Amino acid sequence: MKKFLFIASILVLGTLLFGAQTLTVLMPIGGGYTIQSQEVIAKSFEQAHPGVKVNMEFVGWANLWNKIITSFGANAAPDVMYIASRWIPALASMGALAPLENYITVQKEHMYYPSVWSSLIYKGHYWGVPRAMSTKVFVYNKKIFKENGITKVPTNWNELLEDAKKIYNPKKGIYGILMAGKKFVSTVTQFEQYLCANGGEIVDPNTGKVEIDSPQAVKALSFYKELSKYAQPGITNWTREDLIKLFEAGKGGMYIDHVHNAIKAMKAGIDVGFFPIPGGPDSNAPYSTVVVVDCMAVSSQAKNKELAWEFINYMSTLKEQTRWDTLQGFVPPMIKEAQESEFQKWYWKPYIQALKYGHPQAAGIKDWVSTANAILNAIQSVLLNQSTPQAALEKAAKTISVLQSQ
């Protein structure tokens, strides 16, 4: 009886401290996120915060954006939202997010690699805290490289092109490089790897000025087109997600992908190696990667923003972030986290090291979906010989300029 009374007293005290409150959290499902793993998050937070009830709402990534927009329109937005960082400019511009710089301390900021934060800043404000992150490097088939007399990995675009030529043997069904060209969002990111590697941007992240038609961008798309001559046939029918099928079958010499598929290829018997995405002729950096970040954000309609922040801060402690990333297999965004034993495995190191020269995926872009479509049209028109890189990107720039001015 005394034990029961003691526990009851603790619960009453917790309710007095935190109040009998309900926190709604909108969570995506898919891409590594599962209902089970998310419910564990809610329970652990509730245990640490007596009197607080966390209601988890689940929706697939494909429907997450529409769910957010409709909930705001109905004045029924969740308190905390998991969002893609590429949505931040649009959501911030429509007043859907609460700025977080008054909550993010210097200590909190310094827990992360600097290039991770660049995806979450818009017009001088912090709009989210990193939750899941990915970087990309080249994954290559060591056996194919050796069979073609390639003794070292390419460190610049000329070497990359020459190695693709050496490997390319369509009669045997072997392709020098595997590439994406289908009208799908990951094709934009695949091209963006070369764009950023050559010192280019879609828009200037600080001013919003469109730069997709810059000389650096034109060279990047021209190089993408040149490389495609030594890629698998029907490139405009391939997404980046599908390329692993060819690679694990031993049909491709190299391609850009994340660590998950590299591990999958190893399990399929491929002798896998890695090298960073080489810097282009106009770049001051030796290599590059596009940093894709999912983050936790506080809704502007949150009834208790302090409690919403407490949830985000709790889930982004070193302990919880490490547990999350080791469970899900994500690249660690925190500096100390990368020192954990799991991330000392040899195949993690290239993806972590790539952060040194990381570029945000969509910083400063107001309408990511429409911007991505404009770039996809440019990429496909060049790959299908319907336009020159210069003309295609100038057309895309005009469309994106209108979007940026709205």
What's the pLDDT tens digit per position in 318-332? 998 998 898 888 999
In angstroms, what CA-CA distances link 90 with 93, 208, 228?
A: 5, 13, 33
When mean pLDDT is compared across 25-34, 102-111, 338-347, the lowest value belongs to: 25-34
* Residue that the structure tokens 């407490």 belong to: 310
Note the pLDDT tens digit of each residue in 169-202: 999 999 999 999 999 989 999 999 999 999 999 9
Q: Which of 353, 317, 348, 312 is nearest to 340 (CA)?
A: 348
pLDDT over threshold 90, residue 36: no
Judge whether 402 and 208 are in contact, CB under 8 Å.
Answer: no
Note the pLDDT tens digit of each residue in 330-378: 999 999 999 999 999 999 999 999 999 999 999 899 999 999 999 999 9
> CA-to-CA distance for 196 and 28, rounded, in angstroms?
28
For CA atoms 369, 112, 326, 134, the dihedral sign is positive
Q: Tell me the backbone φ, ψ of residue 275, rounded to 5 degrees.
A: -150, 150
Selected residue with higher pLDDT from 13 and 167? 167
pLDDT over threshold 80, residue 250: yes
Judge whether 307 and 79 are in contact, CB under 8 Å.
Answer: yes
CA dihedral 156, 133, 109, 368 (to 10 degrees): 80
Judge whether 82 and 28 are in contact, CB under 8 Å.
Answer: yes
Q: Do 2-133+292-351 and 137-290+363-405 share a fold?
A: yes
Residue 147: Cβ within 10 Å count:
14
For CA atoms 145, 150, 151, 156, the dihedral sign is negative
Report residue 19's pLDDT band, with 50, 70 and 90 as the boundaries.
low
Report residue 14's pLDDT band, with 50, 70 and 90 as the boundaries.
very low
Report residue 32's pLDDT band, with 50, 70 and 90 as the boundaries.
low
Judge whether 187 and 379 are in contact, CB under 8 Å.
Answer: yes
User: Burial of 353 by CB count in 10 Å (0-12 exposed, 13-18 middle, 19+ buried)?
Assistant: middle
Pick the CATH number of 2-133+292-351 from 3.40.50.300, 3.40.190.10, 3.30.565.10, 3.30.70.20: 3.40.190.10
DSSP string, 30-74: BTTB-HHHHHHHHHHHHHHSTTEEEEEEEEEHHHHHHHHHHHHHT
Beta bridge partners of 175: 252
pLDDT over threshold 80, residue 277: yes
Note the pLDDT tens digit of each residue in 136-153: 999 999 999 999 999 999
Q: Helix/strand/coil (H, E, C) string of 203-264?
A: ECCCCCCECCCCHHHHHHHHHHHHHHCCCCCCHHHCCHHHHHHHHHCCCECEEEECHHHHHH
First-to-last C-alpha distance (Å) of the chain = 66
pLDDT over threshold 80, residue 265: yes
DSSP H or E run through 137? strand 137-141
Residue 21: Cβ within 10 Å count:
15
Pick the CATH number of 137-290+363-405 from 3.40.190.10, 3.40.50.11390, 1.10.3720.10, 3.30.70.1060: 3.40.190.10
Q: Domain-by-domain residue ranges, the chain? A: 2-133+292-351, 137-290+363-405
